[in-house]
Every structure is written in structure tokens, then in C-alpha cells.
Amino acid sequence: MSAERLEPLPMTPQEMLDQIPAFTVYAGALITDPDDGPLLLRSVYAGKGWQLPAGSPTTVRTR
């Protein structure tokens, strides 16, 4: 029985934990016209329909 050679991990466990965000930021908005009609955006993803404008930043650094 031969032992498989294990490759080293690309980072230490602590380095991996440091990459995980401490929290998630997300924002949404309800914007209306003068007649109180909502601003809706048509989703570019199939089947998602219309939705309120919202999103999250790609990167948040707190340290």
C-alpha cells in the first residue's frame, strides 16, 4: 500500500479565517414618482421579473 503525497495548503487556517467577512452589507431603496408609483427594475436574470433597486458592494474592508 503506497501513501499518497499531500500537497501543502495554499494558506494557513488563520489566513483562511481572515478572508471571511465579519458581516454582509446589503442595501435597498423604495423610490417613487410624484403619483407614488414605485421605481422597479427589470431583472436581467431569467424568471426574476421586476424588483426594487438593491445591491451589495463587491468588497468591504473593516480592518
Judged against a pLDDT cut of 80, whether residue 62 lies above it is answered with no
CA dist 56 and 19 (Å) reads 18
Which is more confidently placed, 3 or 39? 39
pTM: 0.41
- Give 59 or 54, the one with higher predicted confidence: 54
Angle at 44 between CA 34 and CA 57, to 5 degrees: 80
Q: What is the pLDDT of residues 7-58, one digit of tens each?
A: 877 888 888 888 887 777 778 888 999 999 998 888 887 677 888 888 777 7
Report pLDDT for 33: 92
Which runs of E-coded beta strand occur in 1-63? 27-28, 41-42, 50-51, 54-55
